[in-house]
Amino acid sequence: MSNFKIEKSQATRINGVDWNNLGFGIYFSDHIFVSDYADGKWDEGKIVPYGPMQMEPTNCTLHYGQSIFEGLKAFLDVKGGINIFRPGKNAARLNHSGSRVCIPAFDEQKLVDALKELVKLDKQWIPKQRGQSLYIRPVVFGTDNFLGVHASSTYRLIVITSPVASYYAEGLNPVKILVSSEYVRAVRGGLGTAKTAANYAASLLAGTLAKKAGYAQVLWLDGVSRHFVDEVGAMNIMFVIGDELITPSLEQGTILAGVTRDTVLTLARDWGLKVSERQITIDELIEAHKSGNLKEAFGTGTAAVISPVGLMHYNDTEMVINDMKIGPIAQRLYDTITGIQYGEIEDTYGWNVHVDL
């Protein structure tokens, strides 16, 4: 267990939180974890009060986007203490993302230790209401000051925490998504498998246009043929066609390896469901809908856990799925995953990292 220097905040901002209207990513807890990289190594790291950070106009990340991040959650265990859900997977994925944009790896166990200390210190910020949690956002960015396209030699890792409710205003009610035929998010050999700032910047225009048209998110197709399904803007995507649970394969090289995606696939296989990770085309989805075989569609991700999709719009085709109601598989997955996260269901997989208070 690492020993981090802790500088406690002299005053809390928790009294300014509207716990009945948390939203997502609006309020931020009193402390953050910070570690800096210089001369070829990361320092020990420390926990300090949340506040502004000084930055020069020539900060390389402002100009060239050398930045990665993660997202995970902590929950109050119904039996006492705190559960952080699968932080080791997020730490490993952070380093994968870093390898794609020349950011040096951070010790994964040390990051998990930092998360444990941070949520323990700000435990009063963890919402008590079912369906809410403490969102944890690690982010790493270059800190050199220069103009010129090359990797930074110094970096900063910070971890922010935020009490959150549902990511979507619809909650667990099915959302409407627009299938983008004009814009693309990623191509094979690009940054699709990494959680980089640039990856999300590429999605903003199509996402903004979709929301103006009344859709919650964009479903991306592959960047070459515009034929194969990739993922949704903030989620991996899954379909139940007949008796088969299908999700695009990571081998496509454009899809983020979601932690919730892996959780869902593990549970589904253990339940004896027929599960396929393979390429799936938009035409196959349209035909499955026409034949009545498209039973469910839902997104998987840390922010929403499970987000049922009730309608998909592609060009002139509109597909209403399961009468705009959550399906039985999506409901069972949501209940099981959240049950494990809150300690209501036994965690036989060892997914929770428990913090005693």
pLDDT in tens, 66-88: 999 999 999 999 999 999 999 99
Q: At residue 156, what are phi and psi to the nearest 5 degrees?
A: -130, 135
Strand partners, 312: 177, 319
Tokens of 14: 């928790």
Which fold is adopted by the domain 5-165?
A: D-amino Acid Aminotransferase; Chain A, domain 1 (3.30.470)
Which fold is adopted by the domain 175-326?
A: D-amino Acid Aminotransferase; Chain A, domain 2 (3.20.10)
**What pLDDT score does 1 carry?**
62
pTM higher than 0.85: yes
Q: For residue range 273-303, what is the model confidence (pLDDT) as tens digits?
A: 999 999 999 999 999 999 999 999 999 999 9
Q: Note whether 152 and 59 are within 8 A (CB).
A: no
| Residue that the structure tokens 């999605």 belong to | 203
What is the secondary structure of 303-357 as a DSSP string? Answer: TTEEEEEEEEEETTEEEE-GGGS--HHHHHHHHHHHHHHTTSS--TT--EEEE--
Q: For residue range 87-146, what is the model confidence (pLDDT) as tens digits?
A: 999 999 999 999 999 999 999 999 999 999 999 999 999 999 999 999 999 999 999 999
Q: At residue 119, what are phi and psi to the nearest 5 degrees?
A: -70, -30
Q: Please tell me the total number of residues recorded for the chain in this structure.
A: 357
Report the SS3 class of residue 193: coil
- Sequence spans of domains, the chain: 5-165, 175-326
Tokens of 240: 């139940």
Pairing of strands 305-314, 175-179: parallel
Q: For residue range 318-336, what is the model confidence (pLDDT) as tens digits?
A: 999 999 999 999 999 999 9
Separation CA 211–CA 303 (nearest Å): 18
